[in-house]
Structure 1
Amino acid sequence: MPDRDALPPALAAILAGGTLAGLPRLDVRIARPELDAWRGGNVMPGVWSFAADAPGPHVAVVAATHGNEIGGAVVLDRWLRAGLRPARGRLSLVMANLDALGRFDAEDPTASRFIDEDLNRVWDEETLSGGRRSCELRRARALRPLLDTVDLLLDLHSMLWPSDPLMLAGRSARAARLARQVGLPPLVVADEGHAAGQRLIDHAPFADPDGTRTALLLEAGPHWEAATVAMIEVAAARLLRLAGTVAEDDGMLAPPPAAPPAPARLARVTRTVTARTPGFAFLRPFRGGHVVPQRNTLIALDGEDEIRTPHDDCLLVMPSLRAMPGQTAVRLARFVDD
């Protein structure tokens, strides 16, 4: 264990019960859309689904799985107001945690992540079919019949801690291939999920290695920023065009890039670090996307345990600078060749 007198001041402050310097400012630079027009849905509350005459896949775009991540809801609101409809197949636009989204308050913007529990940690069969009750489980069970008919799903998220945008593909090789083809953002991360519970992209129909249904999770950038909304819109539009759901020249979406983006780079998680103690702390406030050149570099302390990089050129995926026990603190990943 390093001598704590020699640690950086920010880390020493945390280990002494203080707070980390350099926390992100919680400035809300976008407004939550008015939900009254969309709250009722045409399938169920918060869910709008439209079918084309021409056959094609059922594509779902899901926003506000976390109620404080309002960027995706801004994009769905724009599309619904514009009258977006599929040219082929079916398009479903889902405001997932409608109750939490309705409680969003720019004066306390982190408070509405969920009502009772994280909606993105309940998608395993035992939890969905078990006897536990919560606002989020009630919503997941209501959404499940629709989502189980979806061929391609994009779950829209944003980030509290500073990080470059990325696409999460979970364990599915076909999801990683599709995310690379989308090319936006230019980084795809294949991972095993969280110890605290299964995400929507880990739901069995999407994670089945022998299946065909595919789900991606977009982490588009910082919460409450216009640039994050722009990333959501351009990446989602790219996916809808690739799926053939909308025409290439559909003017209701963000315009396609002048040239198709290059395939995104793929990184595979080699270790998911789950905080074990309240004293988990990084040696410095790492940004997501930071690459540590040398293996065995000390990056964090968890009580008496040292967290070190397991290999050279170790990518830090979405480090959480205030991880509580049981929460994912960081994922460590290795870039993989084509």
Structure 2
Amino acid sequence: MNTSPFLSAAGARLEQPALDLLPLDISAYRHGNTGVDYCHRFESGRSGPDVTIIGLTHGNEFCGAHALCELLEQDTRPLRGSLTLIFNNVAAYQRFDPQRPYASRCVDEDGNRVWQTPRLKHPDTEESRRAARLRPLLLETDLVLDLHSTSNPVAPMLIYPELPDCSALVATLGFPFPQLLYKLGDYHPGMLISYAMQHGRKGCHGLVAECGGHFALESAQQAHAITRRVLYRAGLLEQDALIPPWGYEPDHSAGHYRIRNVIEARTEQFRFSQPYRGFERIARGEVYAQDEGPLRAPFDNCTLIMPARIPLCGAEAVTLAEYLG
């Protein structure tokens, strides 16, 4: 493997990551039973929630594919309701090149920003066309879990709307890692789970699980763990079902956070003031980056969430969240 360093947009030398988690061959799962490639639906024949698990919304986030393959290989079937398993951006996934491990995130654009009605009515990119095909499945679900991973090796996290029903669901999971709350409709228009909640069945719940670093074995274990816990708490698994341990140990970043601002890089000169990885907490007024001028923390308990590994002009550079405790 080529381990030669390369330069980030900030001029820092970035090492080629260790590729401990690699893509699986999922070609056997292309033809499901939904009429949409790489989508499988299993009915129990008993009343209960319709739960959807999604992996590969971003093509280089392999943990979700590993979790879905485990469920399929083990012939997991719902005790009640139904279970839908979706491999999302397979086109990007199939382009993975170990020499350019971050390049297969998408084909044309971020697949987790295209879920808006005008885009789905007139899709014009690989990701929007895929979303348009998946849309009918998302409108038939009561609970959707979207499995992701992060560019930087930080703690796993759950991201969900700040709504009583979502909070009540998460409270049953015993999740000992950071939880990020957002206002439905304000944070990232075009998010998959937000679309399902706003346009799908009444009372639909949505969770994004960020399961750790893209290429870490632990992220696959984390994806297995959160998936089976969600299915168990939804009543789709037997009471004595095997629930695997978490992939990580909790750390100082555990707690609740409220997402406040998404910061985009306005110029090619955007630079973080330090090599942040995520969950650094900074004081109000502290400079965390330079762009058209100094960028300062706008509120107390300001926490940097998923800072871009390589900030690009016009793209999201970092999310600012308030640590709630």
TM-score (norm 2): 0.87
1:8 matched residue in structure 2: none
SS at match of 1:119: coil
Q: Determine the structure 2 residue equivalent to 1:6.
A: none
Mapped pair 1:280 → 2:274: no
Structure whose alpha-carbon radius of gyration is higher: 1
Structure 2 contact 161–182 (Cα < 8 Å) conserved: yes
Choose which of 100, 105, 108 in structure 2 pairs with 1:116: 108
8 Å Cα contact 2:140-2:201 kept in structure 1: no
Identity of aligned residues (%): 32
2:272 is the alignment partner of 1:302: no
The reply to whether residue 149 of structure 1 matches residue 140 of structure 2 is: yes
Q: CA separation in 2, counterparts of 1:174 and 1:327?
A: 32
Matched, 1:316 2:307: no
**Aligned equivalents of 2:140 and 2:200: distance in 1?**
17
Within the alignment, does 1:225 sit opposite 2:225 as a pair?
no
Q: Where does residue 76 of structure 2 map in the other structure?
A: 84
Residue type at the aligned position of 1:324 = L
Describe the shift of the 1:51–1:191 C-alpha distance in structure 2 as closer, same or farther (beyond 3 A): same
- Structure 1 residues 265-274 or 136-145, which shifts more? 265-274
- Range that drifts further, 193-202 or 148-157: 193-202
When residues 237 and 24 of structure 1 are mapped into structure 2, their CA distance, relative to the original with a 3 A threshold, is farther
Correspondence for 1:268: 258
Q: CA deviation at 1:26?
A: 2.2
Q: CA deviation at 1:324?
A: 1.2
Amino acid at match of 1:296: G
Letter in 1 for 2:240: D
311, 327, 330: which is aligned to 2:318? 330
Deviations 1:159-192 (A, max 9, x none): 1123221111145453344334323352111235
Matches within 5 A, 1:56-67: 56-67=48-59
Normalised to the residue count of structure 1, the TM-score between the two structures is 0.84
**1:123 partner amino acid:** W
Unaligned 5+ segments in structure 1 are: 1-12, 258-263
Q: 1:255 to 1:83 in 2, by over 3 A?
A: farther
Please state how far the C-alpha of 1:18 moved relative to its aligned partner: 5.8
For residue 191 of structure 1, what is the amino acid of its counterpart?
Answer: Y
1:9 — aligned with what? none
* 1:241-263 alpha-carbon deviations (Å, 9 max, x no partner): 11111113123x52699xxxxxx
Secondary structure at the aligned position of 2:321 is classed as strand
- Gap change, CA 1:289 and 1:75, over 3 Å in 2: same
Letter in 1 for 2:320: L
How far has the Cα of 1:194 moved from its partner? 8.4
Which one-letter code corresponds to 1:182 in the other structure? L
Q: Match of 2:65? A: 73
Name the residue aligned to 1:237: 228
**SS of match in other structure, 1:88:** coil
How many correspondences in the alignment? 311
- Tell me, what secondary structure is at the counterpart of 1:182? coil
- Match for residue 164 of structure 1 among 155, 168, 171: 155
Q: Which 10-residue stretch deviates more, 207-216 or 79-88?
A: 207-216
User: Is the counterpart of residue 200 in structure 1 residue 192 in structure 2?
Assistant: yes
- What are structure 2's unaligned runs of at least 5 residues? 1-6, 248-253
- Aligned equivalents of 1:64, 1:323: Cα separation in 2: 22
8 A contact 1:101–1:112 mirrored in 2 = yes
Q: Distance in 1 between matches of 2:193 and 2:131?
A: 13
* 2:130 match: 139
Report how far residue 66 of structure 1 moved.
Answer: 0.7
Shift in alpha-carbon separation, 1:18–1:72, aligned structure 2, 3 A: closer
Preserved contact between residue 285 and residue 321 of structure 1 (Cα < 8 Å): no
Counterpart of 1:85 in structure 2: which amino acid? R
For 1:115 and 1:194, how far apart are their aligned partners in 2? 26
- Alpha-carbon distance change, 324 to 256 in structure 1, aligned in 2, over 3 angstroms: closer
CA contact (8 A) 1:171 1:207 kept: no
Distance 2:272 2:22 in 1: 32
Distance 1:325 1:218, change over 3 A: same
1:54 aligns with 2:54: no
Any conservation in 2 of the 1:57–1:152 contact (CA below 8 Å)? yes
CA distance in 2, matches of 1:197, 1:159: 20
Cα distance between partner residues in 1 of 2:268 and 2:257: 29
Separation of aligned partners in 2, 1:210 and 1:73? 26
> Any conservation in 1 of the 2:270–2:291 contact (CA below 8 Å)?
yes
Instruction: Report the residue type matching 1:327 in the other structure.
Output: A
Q: 1:289 aligns with which of 271, 276, 279?
A: 279
Deviating more after overlay: 328-337 vs 141-150: 328-337
How big is the shift at 1:333? 1.3
